[in-house]
């Protein structure tokens, strides 16, 4: 974590909001992973259920069924890259960690399935704590904040204590852009991102092609690459440690150029 890192998004789903992140075949996956290596990607984040607005949580069995061929392929062929599994279900997390995954990325922050903390502790796996409220049915709906920065900071702090009490040693904090926040609240959090280093853990920033960009610009997911690059640059200037992205070439260019200024 001494230098900024890139986490590339890969989806074993038919309905993720950015179509190009969906794995289409093992050959497509091979080409994508080689592309990631070429562009100095440190982590890939592999998910088997969409977290797009209005998504439905799928079963443990279906998540594992979707993940199995791709996780096995990456573990066997690309050991250089750390594998994060995007899931909120403890059984999926345990299966993944037993089969070569390194990190668990939980968009629900363990609020609805706190057993996931003990799974990470059992396998000494880092846990990505994402701030959100609610469940899969309403995770993207704005909620009421008197002060979004203070409340997100306090809610993350409370979850961190629970995670540490469960025995997890390594935590990465994600402010949860797009989850349970209005567009303006997302930008307020981004502007205050550096404050969250007081929690004492690396910060992951995931704004890639999200609605906070394309709705603000009256554009679309497909047209939001430039906006994503702007926000990733800003996040790194605010000392984000990891940027989670769909577009690794542009992310690598940001990091290369920022090293020169």
Domain span including residue 35? 5-258
**pLDDT at res. 31:** 95
**pLDDT at res. 79:** 96
Domains of the chain: total: 1
**pLDDT at res. 18:** 47
Instruction: Please give the model's pTM, rounded to 2 decimal places.
Output: 0.93
The low-confidence residues of the chain, meaning pLDDT below 50, are 17-18
Q: Are the C-beta atoms of residues 128 and 84 closer than 8 Å to each other?
A: yes
**Which CATH number covers residue 162?**
3.20.20.20
Q: What is the DSSP secondary-structure string of 184-233?
A: HHHHHHHHTGGGGGGGSS-EEE--TT-HHHHTTTT--STT-HHHHHHHHH
Q: Are the C-beta atoms of residues 232 and 242 closer than 8 Å to each other?
A: no
**pLDDT at res. 171:** 98
Q: Which two tokens stand for residue 68?
A: 């199995």
**Quick one: which H or E segment has residue 66?**
helix 60-77
Q: Which two tokens stand for residue 11?
A: 């989806």
């Amino acid at each position: 974590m001494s230098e900024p890192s890139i986490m590339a998004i890969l989806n074993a789903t038919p309905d993720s909001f950015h179509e190009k992140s969906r794995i289409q075949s093992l050959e497509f996956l091979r080409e994508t992973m080689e592309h990631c290596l070429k562009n100095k990607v440190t982590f890939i984040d592999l998910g088997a259920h969409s977290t797009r607005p209005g998504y439905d949580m799928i079963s443990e069995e279906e998540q594992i069924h979707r993940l199995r061929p791709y996780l096995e392929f990456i573990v066997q062929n690309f050991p250089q890259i750390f594998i994060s599994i995007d899931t909120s279900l403890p059984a999926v997390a345990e299966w993944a960690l037993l089969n070569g995954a390194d990190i668990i990325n939980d968009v629900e922050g363990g609020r609805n399935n706190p057993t996931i903390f003990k799974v990470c502790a059992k396998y000494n796996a880092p846990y990505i704590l994402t701030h959100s409220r609610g469940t899969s049915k309403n995770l993207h709906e704005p909620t009421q904040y008197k002060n979004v920065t203070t409340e997100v900071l306090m809610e993350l702090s409370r979850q961190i204590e629970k995670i540490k009490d469960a025995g997890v040693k390594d935590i990465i904090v994600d402010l949860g852009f797009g989850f349970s926040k209005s567009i303006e609240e997302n930008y307020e959090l981004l502007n205050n991102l550096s404050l969250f280093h007081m929690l004492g853990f690396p910060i992951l920033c995931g704004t890639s092609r999200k609605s906070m960009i394309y709705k603000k610009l009256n554009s679309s997911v497909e047209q939001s690459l430039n906006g994503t690059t702007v926000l990733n640059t800003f996040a790194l200037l605010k000392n984000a440690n990891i940027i989670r992205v769909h577009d690794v070439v542009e992310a690598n260019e940001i990091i290369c150029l920022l090293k020169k200024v």
